[in-house]
Amino acid sequence: MSADAATAAAVVLARRGDLGYRQFRIPALLRTGAGTLLAVSDARPLLDDLPSPIDLVIRRSADEGATWEPWEPLRIGAGLEGFGDAALLQDPATGAVLCWHVTTTRWGFFESEAGLERTQHCDLSVSLDDGLTWEHRRLTAQLKRPGIRSLFPASGSGLALRRGPHAGRLLQPFVVMTDPVDGTPGVIASAVAASDDHGATWRLSEPFSPTAGGVHTNEHSLAELPDGTVVSCSRATPHRLWSVSTDGGLTFGRPAAVPELPDPSDNGSVLSVDGLVVVSHNQHPWLRCDTVLTVGVAGADGAVTWGGSAQLCPGASGYSTLVELTGGDAGVLFERGAYEELAFVRVPRAQLEAAAARPTGSAPAAGAAAEAVLALPGLDSEAWAAEAREDTPHGALHTRVVPRSITPAPPERWELKDEHLFLSGEAITAPASEGKEKGATATQIVATRADLAANLAPASATPSPADLITLSATARWDGTRDVVLHPRWVADGRPTGDPRTATPGTTVAWLHLSRALGDGELGLTWDVTPA
C-alpha cells in the first residue's frame, strides 16, 4: 500500500451523547515513558466555553491507541464549578505526569478581572502512577502577575526539553490577556510557563510580541528541534504564526505568518520527530474544516522547509493535538464533525516522509482518511466538503459551507433553582474567530449541572429538530465589480448573517449562521447585488 493511501481506521474515543454529555471538546494527548497513551477531554453539558459546569475526563490506551479503556473522571465539579482546556506533559526525570487545566465558577477568560479573586484559575493535576490517580494544585498566584488580567494554559500538550544546556526544563504554552491601558483594551497573546525544578515552581514569560503587521498570537503549541531551538506555532487567520526561542523557551522572537500553514484561528499542534516537523491544523483560512498534517524538514535556528500535507478529515473538524509514537509515527487526537466526535488516528512515519517530499499544499488522504461526521438530516459528508460555484450576471461566486456546532434547544422558560448567572458577552472585545464558543449568541447562562439537566432534553447522539445548528460559510467573488453578498436559507428564503461587500478576487466569511435543525433544508442561497 502506498504512503498516500489510508492505512488505519479512526478510533472514535467519544461521541455526542456519551456518558450523558453533549460535547467532548478540547483534546489533550500524551505518550508516557511507560508507553501508555493518556487522552483528556472537556466533557460538556452544553457547547459553552468556561465558565460552565464542564468536567474533565480521561482515557488510557496500553497499545498506542488501537484500543482504549473506558472514560474515567479526572475532575468533576459541584455547583457552578467547571474544568477545561487540559494540557498534558511528563517530567522525564521523575516520571510525574502533569495535567494543566482551567478552573472556573463565575469568571472565565474574558470575564476575569485583575487580582486573584474575581478570576478563572490555573490548576495543575499531578500523577505519580502513570495517570491512574491525581492530586491537584492551584498555581494562579505563581503566574498571574500585575498587568495580566486573565490567563489559561493552551490545550493539548506541554514540552520537556531534552537537549543542550536547558535539558530537563518543563514548558507549558499559555495564553494571556493584558490589562487595559489608558482606555485601550488589553491584548490577547501567547506566553510560556517554565519550570527548572521538576514542576515545583513556575515562572511566566512576557507576552509574545505581535507580527510586524500587528497580528497577535493566541493558543499555541511548542516543539524542540534537533539543534535545541524551541519553536511556537500559534493559531491565527489566515495563516498560523511561527516564533523561535534560542534560550530554552524563556523568550521568543517576533512571530511571522507561515503561508504553507493556512488556519482559521483554530488550536492545532506542532511535533518534532527525527528531523521532521509536523503541524496539525485546518487547511482553510476561515473555516474549521479539512484537518491535515503538514510536514516539513527541520533546518537551523527554527527554520523549516515545508512540504505537502496528509489529509485526516475533508469536512468539519476542530482542535487537534499530536504525539510521537514508536517508529516515528504520529498519533493525532482531533475534534471531528460539528463538535460531534473525538477521533484518534495513527499516521505512519512513511506517510509523514511522503508528505514532506510532496509539493506545498497537496494533501492526499492518510491515516484514517476520515470523512466528516454528520448527524444532520438529508445531507452526506461530500456535500459539506465540496466548494460550490454559482454564475451570476456580474461574475462567479464560489461558496463553501460547513457545520460548526449543534446545541440543545433552550426551554421556553428557564426554571433555575440553584445558583446561576447570565453573561451578556459585553466584556468580549476579541474578533469572532478569537472569541468564546457558546450556544447562545447574546447571553450565556451559567447554571448548575442539576438545573441544566432539569431544563434540557437528555443528551443524545441524534439531535432533535429543535436543536440549533450553526454553520460557517465563505464566499469567494470572481467578478468584475464590487458586490454585496447576503446568505439566505434555502428552506424559506430568510436572510441570515450580515450583508458583506466583496471586491473582485476577495473572500468574505460568516462564522456563525444559526437556526433550528427542523426548519427545513439546511442549504444556503446567496443574494448578489452591485455595491
Sheet holding 121-127, edge to edge: 135-138, 121-127, 97-104, 82-90, 156-157
- Altogether, the residues listed in the chain come to a count of 531
From 260, 266, 319, 437, the catalytic residue = 319
| Cell numbers that stand for 85 in this block | 482546556
Q: Percentages helix, strand, coil for the chain, rounded to the nearest 5?
A: 5, 45, 50
Residue 301 designated active-site: no
Compute, in degrees rounded to 10, the torsion defined by CA atoms 345, 349, 354, 359.
70
Residue 21 designated active-site: no
What is the SS3 assignment for 1?
coil
From 18, 42, 48, 49, the catalytic residue = 49
From 4, 64, 219, 329, the catalytic residue = 219
Angle at 476 between CA 474 and CA 481, to 5 degrees: 135
Q: Name the DSSP class of 17.
A: T
Distance CA 511, CA 518 (A): 21
Q: Name the DSSP class of 285.
A: S
Distance CA 257, CA 255 (A): 7
Distance CA 358, CA 364 (A): 10
End-to-end CA distance of the chain: 53
Residue 49 designated active-site: yes
DSSP per-residue string spanning 139-179 = -HHHH--TTEEEEEEPSEE-EE--SGGGTT-EEEEEEEEEP
Q: What is the CA radius of gyration of the chain?
A: 22
Distance CA 494, CA 479 (A): 25
Nearest CA-CA partner of 509 in 432, 436, 435, 438: 432
Burial of 59 (0-12, 13-18, 19+ CB in 10 A): buried
Is the distance from CB of 230 to CB of 173 less than 8 angstroms? no
Catalytic amino acids? Answer: 49, 219, 319
